[in-house]
Structure 1
Amino acid sequence: MSGDKFETFSLEIYETRNKSGVTKKCRAIFPYKDDDGKWRKKSVTLNSNPRGRGSASRLNAEAEEVRAQLNAEAKEASKACETVAEYFKKYVDARSLSVERSSANELRRILRTHIAPTIGKIELDELTPDDVQAWVTMLSKEYAPSTVKKCLTNLRSAMREAVDRDRLAKDPTRGVKNPKLPASKPNALDERGRAKVASFIALDPAKPLNIGFALALYMGLREGEICGLRWRCVDLDAKTLEIRETIGRDGSKWYVKEPKTGGSIRKLYIPDSLAEALRARHAHMGEENLGSGLTLDELFVVGDPAGGYMQPHYLSTRWRIAADALELIGTQGRRPTFHDLRHTFATAAIAHGVDIKTVSSFMGHANAAMTMNTYADADPDAKRRGAETVARAYQEEIARHVGDGEVLEFSRTGTDE
């Protein structure tokens, strides 16, 4: 299938009568589907003489030219009335070939829920920045700023592609700003909270859930990364692990996938206390796995002996129960989520002098600036400690250089008259 409206044709010879006698002519018949999906026929009389040597070739060549012209006219007519929703659907179909299926389905959800019923009805060529701004304003009355931002960002991407492909002369999203997102600070655990969680984990450190909690608290791993970690990516001798897979979600279905970005694929060092717990877990799974037919390397660290993985939502739900039982409160005054354990790791690392680049590599961030912007103010005492550290350094420098020369005291500054 070529995608053209008129794909095939047939030739039909017929006769016409007039005062001069009988004349033979040829017409080309082009079958096509109308907008309702019903088959129709379009007939065009050809100029070529159906008689004589080479007439068949001439007729076929002319019919092909007519077919090409009809398809060009049909495409122009289709473009003229193509709606925003129709173009966005084509954009999503093309994007789905290069993004995760969960991302592609999210784009389809945005089309179905936020674009098609509203701005999607406007013809693409008629869409203006005023239309887009009105759409953003309307969405902002009903949805969170993060949702509206996601919708506008993806519409903008589709419209810029339309400009790049000469489908539009100007980007209709130009000048339309994303809604301002409320500033959110990590709800990390303070020193007392960290001690509570560490003590709780230590009660049964090799338990699958506690291993999961520890991987977040001690190493900053995400839920999906913890659930997707297999033993083949853990080197207990070298005390390292590699993040190569994660558990993703597509609607109600979970699946194993590669991490979303290259920075998320990383090699990390395991602290001694966690390494001991992992060794005990490894030995226990080796005993449970006897006779299953699977190698231990294939199994997930916090999964089951049959090869299944723990679903991330189960891990976060069980953490919520533990957090309630421990009566934990984060630095923002809320009960910490599982993801806040990851925030806790980064905040504690920075508070104890780990450099930003190292913390960034642990977290799998795209760059150190992202880590700095997220966690620079996460520790409320950081500025106080920073000021005290610099002051102490100055005092130490003064002591070291106390005999270097005489310090003169001026009664007046150099700017006094």
Structure 2
Amino acid sequence: MARAWINDRWLTSAQITLGDGSKTRVEPSPQMKRSLAQNMTHPERAKVPEEFRTVEFGKGARWTVYWNADGKRKKRNFSEYRLAEEFKASVEDDIRSGRYINPDNLERTFKQIADSWSSGLTGTVKGATEGRYLRELRIWVLPRWGRVPLGRITSTSIQAWVAQLVKGTAPRNGKIGEPRPLAPKSIRSIVKVVFKGCLDYAVKAGWMQSNPVNDVKIPKQTVSVPRVYLTPEEIHAIASEMNVPDRSMVYLLAYTGVRIGEAVALRCGDVDFDAATISITRTQSVDAEGHAIETTPKNGRSRTVPFPTKLKPMLMALTERQGDDDYLFRAPRGGRHIVNNWRSRIWRHALQAAGLDGVRGLSIHSLRHSYASIAIRNGCDVKTLQNVMGHASAAETLDTYADLWPNRASEIAGAINDDVLL
């Protein structure tokens, strides 16, 4: 059974000798306690005989709560008896209900739990994701919460921090640029993923009873960047501003829907000219330090993508006199392209030359969206498009491209009308 008790650090029982010569212990009288209560700021003035005073009399907090938990005896000091009583009742209730948290753990700083959480990221998320989490932790989270004890992190204080992130006044540790307001998407990642992940770890470790982030509200995205669907003419205009190999990559992205990271990781042996398909088994990503690496495609699944036969001569030219393990798209000096380099040195220049650099939301990923648009316009069903594009589920495909499927509600009503019997 849970047990806690309160000890008076200043008063003790005294041994006195009775008239018959026997000895007994006597507790401090109510008058002594009342006198001490009236002189707490100057306890030496209290009318308490010396024999009833402990060696700690007048030093530090008067009351100590003791309790047994985790196989050990623990204690906490209080200056007021009322606070000691409240804490004692709370500890006993938490132990009985299984909610007990060692108060010492609540004094641990946030950085202690953040270090444990971040050290366990490797291998659980992709390197690029790990790198982003670590940057957000270093730049935004630790400057505000690093030295704060876990027990002092509340939903109210977190909500105030969110307001600072929105206004651009939150503490930060960035070495480049000035403090700035953050977009809702960035705030969600910092607060609801990184910060919450650290505190979830603390809850699982038994350092906290619950996660205060759960009750925090994050601003909603109000202005979204429009999804751009390019016409075949616009795709051709961009590709025409590139050399033949880079032009071939634009056409492949636009007419197969593969991602840019998947395209630059393709080998010549991934192309099956007889079946007119490409095997997507890897993608280019970055590790936690930002170095380019190759890993499994998004969602961890390989897939086979068909390509239009019009692309066949172009792809055959790329594989001519190349081995199966050679890259399909090669950098000017050989070897693989690096996505960021291709974007900045080739893609952006082509957009400028084609007069499309002012189109808001236009990116390399727009080529993938354009493929989906063309496929849906030509009658592709949801499940087929999901498999070709490598989405995790058909629901993701529907959510992403819901605006492209025609609204056939009136056709459904007409079809049902034929079966209505009145």
* TM-score interval, normalised by the smaller of the two chains: 0.5 to 0.7
For 1:307 and 1:77, how far apart are their aligned partners in 2?
61
Q: Once the two structures are superposed, what CA deviation does each residue of 1:262-284 show, in whole Å capped at 9, x if it has no partner?
A: 24x2211121012221112111x
Give the CA deviation at 1:166. Answer: 2.0
**How far apart are 1:229 and its partner, in Å?**
1.1
Deviation at 1:218, TM superposition (A): 0.3
Q: Which amino acid aligns with 1:144?
A: A
Q: How far does the alpha carbon of each residue in 1:136-175 deviate from its partner, in whole angstroms, 9 at most, with x for none?
A: 2211222121111111122222222322232211112121
Following superposition, the deviation at residue 187 of structure 1 comes to 3.0
Alpha-carbon distance between aligned partners in 1 of 2:414 and 2:184, rounded to the nearest angstrom: 46
2-side partners of 1:361 and 1:394: how far apart? 32
Query: Which residues of structure 2 form unaligned runs of 5+?
Result: 1-70, 76-101, 168-180
Q: Is the 8 A contact 2:382 2:397 kept in 1?
A: yes
Is 2:208 the partner of 1:182?
Answer: no
- Matching residue of 1:93: 119
Residues 26-175 of structure 1 mapped to structure 2, 5 A cutoff: 79-141=105-167, 142-152=181-191, 153-175=193-215
Q: Distance in 2 between matches of 1:273 and 1:160?
A: 52
Preserved CA contact (<8 Å) 2:113 2:201:
no
Long gaps (5+) in structure 1: 1-68, 290-295, 408-413
Contact 2:225 2:361 in 1 (8 A): no
Counterpart in the other structure of 2:317: 280
Q: CA deviation at 1:202?
A: 7.8
Identity across matched positions, percent: 28
CA distance in 2, matches of 1:194, 1:276: 19
Q: Determine whether 1:235 maps to 2:272.
A: yes
For residue 65 of structure 1, what is the aligned residue in structure 2? none
Contact 2:283 2:297 in 1 (8 A): yes
> What is the match of residue 269 of structure 1?
306
**Distance (Å, rounded) in 2 between the aligned partners of 1:91 and 1:188:** 38
- Contact 2:241–2:353 (8 Å) recurs in 1: no
Aligned equivalents of 1:341, 1:107: Cα separation in 2: 28
CA distance 1:130–1:340, change in 2 (3 Å): same
Question: Is 1:362 matched with 2:407?
Answer: no
SS at match of 2:305: strand
Contact 2:255 2:371 in 1 (8 A): yes
Which region of structure 1 is more displaced relative to structure 2, 313-322 or 269-278?
Answer: 313-322
Instruction: Give, in whole Å, the separation in 2 of the partners of 1:329 and 1:352.
Output: 28
Q: CA deviation at 1:122?
A: 1.3
Aligned pair count reads: 309
Instruction: State how 1:190-201 maps to structure 2 within 5 Å.
Output: 190=230, 193-198=231-236, 201=239
Contact 2:127 2:285 in 1 (8 A): no
Match of residue 314 from structure 1: 341
SS in 1 for 2:284: strand
Q: RMSD between aligned alpha carbons? A: 3.6
Residues 250-304 of structure 1: per-residue CA shift (max 9 Å, x gap): 45532222224224x2211121012221112111xx1xx5xxxxxx122111025
Contact 1:82 1:124 in 2 (8 A): yes
Could you tell me whether the CA contact under 8 Å between 2:105 and 2:208 is conserved in 1? no
TM-score, normalised to structure 2's length?
0.64
Number of the residue aligned with 1:32:
none
